[in-house]
Structure 1
Amino acid sequence: MKAIRLVANKLYPLTSISQQIELFANEMLMSVSTVDHKADSNGDGSDPALQKDSGSEKSSEEGPSFSISNPLQSSTSGSKSPFSIAEGQRRISLYFALCTKKHSLFGQIFVVYSGASEAVQQAIHQQIHMLVRTIGSSSELLEIISNPHSGSEKLLIQVLQTLTEGIVPSLQLITTIRNLYETKVKDVELLIMILPFLSKDEVLLLFPHVVNTPLDKFQCALLRILQGSTHSGPVLTPTEALIAIHRIDPEREGIPLKKVTDACNACFEQREIFTQQVLAKVLNQLVEQIPLPLLFMRTVLQAIGAFPSLVDFIMEILSRLVSKQIWKYPKLWVGFVKCALLTRPQSFGVLLQLPPAQLENALGRTPALRAPLVAHASQAHIKSSLPRSVLTVLGIESDAQVSSQAPPNQSQTGDIDNSDKEAGTEKSRDSSVVS
Structure 2
Amino acid sequence: ACGMEEWEEGYLEVGPDVGLLQGQLQLSGTAYEDALLAMLENLRGLGAHAALRGLLAEAPVLPVPGVVILLEDVLGAGGAWATAALGAAREAIVERPVLRPYFVELVLAAATDPDASTRSKAVRLCANQLTLLSPELAQSIESHANAALQLLVTSNPPEGSGPGGSTPPEWTEEEAARYCELYMTLCVRHHNLLPGLMTAYAAAPEPVKAALATSSDALARALGHSNPQLLQLVENPLPGSEPLVLHMLEVLMGALLPSQQMLGACRARYARTRDVAILAPVVAALSKAEVLELLPGLLQATGTNVKALYSKLTSVQTAMGDPLFAPAELLVALHALNPTRDGIPTKALISAVDTALKNPGIFPQHTVAQALQQMESQFPLPLLFMRTIISALRATPRLKPFISDLISRLIARQVWLDRNQWLGLLMLVDSNGEAYFPHMLQLPLPVLQQVLGLNPDLHKRQTEPALRRSTALNFAKWAYSSRNPMQVLRPVTMMLDMLLQSEQAEQQQQQQQQPQAGALSTSALGPSQHPAPAATATPADSNTATLGANSHGMQQVQQQGSEAGNVAPAPGAAAGSHENLGASAGEGGVGDAAGAQPQDDREQDEFDLDFDALEDDEGEREEEG
User: Could you say which TM-score interval applies, normalised by the shorter chain?
Assistant: 0.5 to 0.7
Q: Provide the alpha-carbon RMSD of the alignment.
A: 4.9
Is contact 2:375-2:385 (8 Å) kept? yes
User: Partners in 2 of 1:335 and 1:5 — Cα distance?
Assistant: 69
Q: 2:487: which partner in 1?
A: 382
Structure 1 residue 146: deviation in Å? 1.0
CA contact (8 A) 1:239 1:278 kept: yes
Q: Could you tell me how far apart the structure 2 residues matched to 1:272 and 1:122 are?
A: 30
CA drift at 1:327: 1.6
C-alpha spacing 1:168/1:394, structure 2 compared with 1 (3 Å) = same
2:246 is the alignment partner of 1:157 = yes
Match of 1:350 in 2: 439
Q: Tell me the residue number matched to 1:410.
A: none
* Paired residues of 1:226 and 1:234 also in contact (CA < 8 A): yes
1:197 aligns with 2:285: yes
- 1:213 CA displacement: 5.9
Matched position secondary structure for 2:281: helix
Change in 2 beyond 3 A, CA 1:186/1:29: farther
Q: What do the CA deviations read for 1:198-219 (whole angstroms, capped 9, x no partner)? A: 3444333333334336899323
Q: 123-132 or 342-351, which moves further after superposition?
A: 123-132
Partner of 2:452: 363
Amino acid at match of 1:175: G
Structure 1: stretches of 5+ with no match in the other structure: 12-20, 40-81, 407-435
**1:246 aligned onto 2:335:** yes
* Alignment partners' CA distance in 2, 1:6 and 1:185: 47
TM-score (norm 1): 0.59
* CA distances 1:34-72 after superposition (whole Å, capped 9, x unpaired): 788899xxxxxxxxxxxxxxxxxxxxxxxxxxxxxxxxx
Are the structure 2 counterparts of residues 259 and 35 from structure 1 closer, same or farther at C-alpha, using a change threshold of 3 Å? closer
Q: Deviations over 1:123-148 (max 9, x none)?
A: 79757954873575145642443111
Q: Of the candidates 303, 307, 312, which is equivalent to residue 224 of structure 1?
A: 312
User: CA separation in 2, counterparts of 1:134 and 1:227?
Assistant: 24
| TM-aligned CA distance change 1:167 to 1:295, over 3 Å | closer
Letter in 2 for 1:149: L
Identical-residue share of aligned pairs (%): 25
- Where 1:382 maps in the other structure, the secondary structure is coil
User: TM-score normalised to the size of structure 2?
Assistant: 0.44
Separation in 2, partners of 1:304, 1:119: 43
Q: How does 1:94-173 map to 2 (within 5 A)?
A: 97-99=189-191, 107=195, 110-111=198-199, 113-115=201-203, 126=215, 129-130=218-219, 133-134=222-223, 136-138=225-227, 141-161=230-250, 163-165=252-254, 167-173=256-262
The 2-side partners of 1:197 and 1:314 are apart by 36
- The Cα offsets for residues 173-193 of structure 1, whole Å up to 9 and x where unpaired, read as 1232244356548484x4442
CA distance in 2, matches of 1:260, 1:308: 23
Q: Which amino acid aligns with 1:137?
A: S
Q: For the residues of structure 2 that align with 1:351 and 1:125, how far apart are their CA atoms?
A: 55
- Work out which of the residue numbers 231, 236, 251 in structure 1 matches 2:325: 236
For residues 246 and 372 of structure 1, do their structure 2 counterparts lie closer, same or farther at Cα, with a shift above 3 Å needed? farther
Contact 1:174 1:194 in 2 (8 A): yes
Q: 1:335 aligns with which of 399, 421, 424?
A: 424
User: Alpha-carbon deviation of 1:150?
Assistant: 0.5
Distance in structure 2 (CA, Å) of the matches to 1:170 and 1:113:
26
Give the residue type in structure 2 aligned to 1:4: T
Question: Does the 8 A contact of 2:188 with 2:223 survive in 1?
Answer: no
Q: Which amino acid aligns with 1:5?
A: L
CA deviation profile, 1:103-125 (whole Å, cap 9, x unmatched): xx855653455356887996797
State the alpha-carbon separation in 1 of the partners of residues 327 and 397 from structure 2. 20
Query: What is the match of residue 376 of structure 2?
Result: 287
Gaps of 5+ in 2: 1-125, 156-170, 454-465, 498-553, 567-625
Count of aligned residue pairs for this structure pair:
340
* Pair 379,88 (structure 1): closer, same or farther in 2 beyond 3 Å: closer
